[in-house]
Structure 1
């Protein structure tokens, strides 16, 4: 170990700490490193999660690693190399493509292990894009966040097969348990979002971008209302991240269906457990494959019936026929982009008896507790580090 006090030093590199699954995982792993007595460093351009990261005891170094400019990427390699030397870094873990190219060069120059996590289903339409994506398969160990992602890596980057391992993304299941969410948090959120007392809540937690399916949600709500629902409120909770044209498009669609009182665009949600505790149904309406699907896992951990688009890694996170029996179901899977099927599933979930709902959500919570806890994810990730550092 190059650190003077003997603790291993791990540097994670990610573009920013605004919001998202990769960012959440970065903070969770940093916390686990500190708790294990290691030193955790994160290089990013900062963001709303920076305070949380620093509260874990991790060190943050601000560098322009979000840039895709080739010259900046090249310069960032030297900047990261300087960080490695200054802090005695023993291992580098990259979580996004542009900074991964810089981190790969820096780690190789310093002759230390390099780890990557393939967090997303990266667009790959030509050979140049394939080469750009390939950096995420160039780690000494390549972590896939689901079996689906691992299969994709094997297909795209067969050279990485022997260095590939699956570590499912994990969530803080204890925090998501509705019994651990104080009433005042739910009351504050209900008031902030303007939800009438007693109105069933259909929750969609996703950043506002077209492939996350907010348009499908709006059409499904229109269908639900058309077929007699008079009370349900749909909450679209997510940050537009600068996509103002898309945000205005959603508002126009809501107005076209005269659903301004039934669909609420509430922006970023900083208290996910409270949001889920308010929800009667959670919907993941993605129209493109999810590499993992954290929102579906968190809904199940929170004892909320969940409906998801049937593509990507969903069969790993939400159990449903025909892969399992009706008695093993943990949620509903519907064809992506099919607003009528989504509306039908929403009606079904809202109409569950108390007994049927308890049985479903109990199975779902048990399912995710066995496979998708943050503790399991962090333990598996630290084991990857240990094996590489022993070489």
Structure 2
């Protein structure tokens, strides 16, 4: 059953504090309650619904553990990859932990959860603290035990949100609907009955306290959940953009916010987050909406600090991100229902920190934004920060500890120890990080290899690279200090992705040899990371032999335009045989792969390529004349640069046709035919000769220093005639601070906003390309705007830090999941 609890927030290290002597707990399974009382010790058990991620409920759990560091932990299931916030504590789990597919489908066991929570034995403890948004409060306790339940919400999909849940799950009619309604009826009856065993309720907001009163007929003490306001710094200078940040799931209503701003093109919106609604949200975005996807904490904090306002459209029980925004001094525009009413001071109140809208609709959001702009001077960053500090983690710990102490006579004299940082016994952030075998088919330095290079440089201490061909890529890996080995691909290297036949004879022998050699090396790693299509085929089979999970970094659009029919069949077969997860370099790549293979969306993540700005920034003070002289390019011409291997689908011929139509500029072609495409290069030279373009077209061939070549030209073009999976050259052009003209298709649409950070043209249309380049040449103001916005886009959305962090996070998660399955 679908269920989301609170706003996801950034992981902060847990801490050591409180009850050093009074809550010393003997090992689970050997309790002695009489000895505990004689020694004036109090045994504490903490019960949580399920441990599968780190979100709002887990932030509360983290602080409860910080208050009672010697307590024992219980949960229905524990599938955490990173358990640092639990101080490395073991967790006693229920029988659901060992049921089939429990790691990913644990919610489907909702009918068994009441039984499962009742089987957890906490009878040896004096105090039981349950952290509950589902069934944890139903833990069985005796008459001499004190049970305090911190309730994030009564089971929302069983109570007031039942009909919304059934509708979203498409269970409004039929046999499945009847079964679901019967189960939820049973859950409601059980939920009411078990409320009687709770000695005291704590609610995370007045809104939830009213729910508790409505459902259980019990009063609840309100203790707001902890927000790490100290992790956010006050910023008094705001930029002219709005921000929303959230997990992209239906009830967060991010789509409504994006739709509203798409109808306000004069206002800019930045969206941070990822999730199953990503494609729906991207489809609604206008040119003024920048969707950044998942971002590391530093990027989130930067945008939250500089935003004009934070927009929030969900009906949340509390809403941590709303408080985090105010901690940055940023006012909030929020839906006027739920926890936001308790965390935001409306514009009608003294020291206002935001304003509300009445309906979850685009029209209501638009009206609220317009009202906000009219009253923007009434909001003070200092007032926002002061309001946020009411919800600090320190306040939470003090109030929770005081509440428990008042309820437990044996704790009346206990004091809360100072909050001290928790330092894990196992030093180093990579202590539990998996070893990785990266596999790539090529020795050349193409876009896929340059992107892999960023990953292996960051993870060099625990990654090994296997290549199926030698060349400049191997040299670059050696120079980066990465362990690399080149395997002989033999005749297999002649097999092309557009080829019409399957490998036979010598090629098949080479295939089997590569599989065996790769499997042998994979046994020293926890996960295989395949960077290219042929590497994925080898990796999928080798992963089966070595019993290792395989992650494919998909950098192609797997469609008939790019692959032969038999190659597509092989990809589909390998996906079913041995792929654990896919990282796609764009939503366009992800869509094509999902359509081909019917792969589960949960096993596909979109991670944009990360490209370092450093090589481009290093050339900032080098005169363009110096670079042109070095490359033997004319000093006074308007130079248009194309940067790609020479291949028909890359469309260099379209640029040459545009040169015929526009005699006032020169073309610079950087790249060589890499994969048997020499005939295309011959055709390009023949076209130049036939149209007398020899003085205006400059073939530079393969170049190592792409940043220098880009900074030498006046504009960068991307001319692919079939959809590009990503479009690395576009981002590089933005980093070089050159205006970019690109073909309107594929992953390019996820990078370029037309006439904002680049110009889009119809693929293969030489006339449109010539017109766009002529406009660029004559319009200095347009060039300046595109350069400014393009550079900002490249830095914020395609930086290497977020790229490496995202890929590493996925590899770690897949390796941990495989280990759990193997251990089960």
Fold shared per TM-score above 0.5 = yes
Displacement, 1:126? 7.0
Are residue 115 (structure 1) and residue 551 (structure 2) matched?
yes
Which range moved further: 12-21 or 285-294? 12-21
Q: What is aligned with 1:236?
A: 669
Note the alpha carbon deviations across 1:17-58, whole angstroms, 9 max, x for none: 202111111211110112xx4233333312112221112221
Which residue does 2:645 correspond to in 1? 207
Contact 2:478 2:484 in 1 (8 A): yes
Partner of 1:277: 711
> Is the contact between residue 557 and residue 588 of structure 2 (CA under 8 Å) also seen in structure 1?
no
C-alpha distance in 1 between matches for 2:484 and 2:621 = 31
Name the residue aligned to 2:725.
291
Choose 240-249 or 144-153, whichever is displaced more: 240-249
Partner of 2:15: none
Query: How far apart are the structure 1 equivalents of 2:546 and 2:588?
Result: 33
- Counterparts of 1:123 and 1:312, CA distance in 2: 11
Shift of residue 74 of structure 1?
2.0
The match for 1:162 is 602
Q: How does 1:115-134 map to 2 (within 5 A)?
A: 115-124=551-560, 128-134=566-572
Match of 1:341 among 751, 764, 768: 768
Q: Partners of 1:381 and 1:238 in 2: how far apart?
A: 28
Question: Kindly tell me: are residues 198 and 136 of structure 1, through their superposed partners in 2, closer, same or farther at Cα, counting changes over 3 Å?
Answer: farther
Deviation per CA, 1:243-285: give whole Å up to 9, x if none: 3321111111011111101011110121111111112111001
Residue of structure 2 in register with 1:323 after alignment = none
Residue equivalent to 1:319: 753
CA contact (8 A) 1:123 1:129 kept: no
1:103 partnered with 2:539? yes
Cα pair 2:644 2:671 within 8 Å, conserved: yes
Q: Which residue is 1:191 aligned to?
A: 629
Deviations 1:333-369 (A, max 9, x none): 111111111000001111122x442222111111121
Shift in CA distance, 214/204, structure 1 to aligned 2, threshold 3 Å: same
Stretches of structure 2 lacking an aligned partner (at least 5 in a row): 1-430, 496-506, 818-824
Range with greater deviation from structure 2 (45-54 or 299-308)? 45-54
- Structure 1 runs of 4+ aligned residues shifted over 4 Å read 186-189
1:24 aligns with 2:450: yes
Q: Is 1:383 aligned to residue 809 of structure 2?
A: yes
- Whole-Å separation in 1 of the counterparts to 2:432 and 2:468: 25
- Alpha carbons 2:670, 2:700 under 8 Å: kept: yes
Partner Cα separation in structure 2 for residue 389 and residue 46 of structure 1: 29
Which of 58, 75, 93 does residue 513 from structure 2 map onto?
A: 75
Aligned equivalents of 1:219, 1:39: Cα separation in 2: 45
Decide which of 414, 438, 447 is 1:12's aligned counterpart. 438
Matches within 5 A, 1:134-145: 134=572, 135=574, 138-145=578-585
Which consecutive residues of structure 1, in runs of 5 or more, have no partner in the other structure?
321-325
Q: Give the whole-Å Cα distance in 1 for the aligned partners of 2:456 and 2:690.
A: 46
Using the size of structure 2 for normalisation, the TM-score is 0.43
Alpha-carbon distance in structure 1 between the residues aligned to 2:717 and 2:463: 38
User: 2 CA distance for matches of 1:182 and 1:363?
Assistant: 20
- Once the two structures are superposed, residues 143-202 of structure 1 have per-residue CA deviations (whole angstroms, 9 ceiling, x without a partner) of 11101111111211113433111111111123223x545628x66652354212222211
> Matches of 2:436 and 2:620 in 1, distance apart?
33
Q: What corresponds to 2:778 in structure 1?
A: 351
Are the counterparts in 2 of residues 218 and 254 from structure 1 also a CA contact under 8 Å?
yes
Q: Is 1:267 the equivalent of 2:693?
A: no
Per the TM alignment, residue 380 of structure 1 is displaced from its structure 2 partner at its CA by 0.5
Q: Aligned equivalents of 2:589 and 2:749: distance in 1?
A: 12
Counterpart of 2:481 in structure 1 is: 57
Whole-angstrom CA distance in 1 between matches of 2:690 and 2:513: 49
Taking the TM superposition and a 5 Å limit, the aligned residue runs for 1:26-45 are 26-34=452-460, 37-45=461-469
Output the CA distance in 1 between the equivalents of 2:745 and 2:463. Answer: 38
Q: Distance in 1 between matches of 2:772 and 2:792?
A: 22
Residue among 520, 529, 533 paired with 1:93: 529
Paired residue total: 368
1:2-22 alpha-carbon deviations (Å, 9 max, x no partner): xxx987321111111202111
Q: Distance in 2 between matches of 1:175 and 1:192?
A: 17
TM-score scaled by length of structure 1: 0.88
Give the corresponding residue for 2:614: 174
Asked if the contact 2:757/2:789 (under 8 Å) is kept, the reply is yes
Report the Cα distance in structure 2 between the residues aligned to 1:319 and 1:15, rounded to whole angstroms: 33
Counterpart contact for 1:97–1:132, Cα < 8 Å? no
**Partner SS for 1:313:** helix
- Counterpart CA distance in 2 for 1:224 and 1:121 is 32
Structure 1 residue 119: Cα displacement: 0.9
The answer to whether the 8 A contact 1:9-1:41 is kept is no
Aligned-partner SS, 1:234 = strand
Contact 2:619 2:708 (8 Å CA) reproduced = no
Q: 1:365 aligns with which of 769, 784, 791?
A: 791
> In the TM superposition, what is the alpha-carbon distance from 1:317 to its structure 2 partner?
0.8
| Aligned mates of 2:742, 2:620 — CA distance in 1 | 24
CA root-mean-square deviation: 2.1
The equivalent of 1:332 in structure 2 is 759
Comparing 258-267 with 112-121, greater Cα deviation is found at 112-121
Higher helix share: 1
Report the Cα distance in structure 1 between the residues aligned to 2:552 and 2:440, rounded to whole angstroms.
11
1:212/1:287 contact within 8 Å kept:
yes
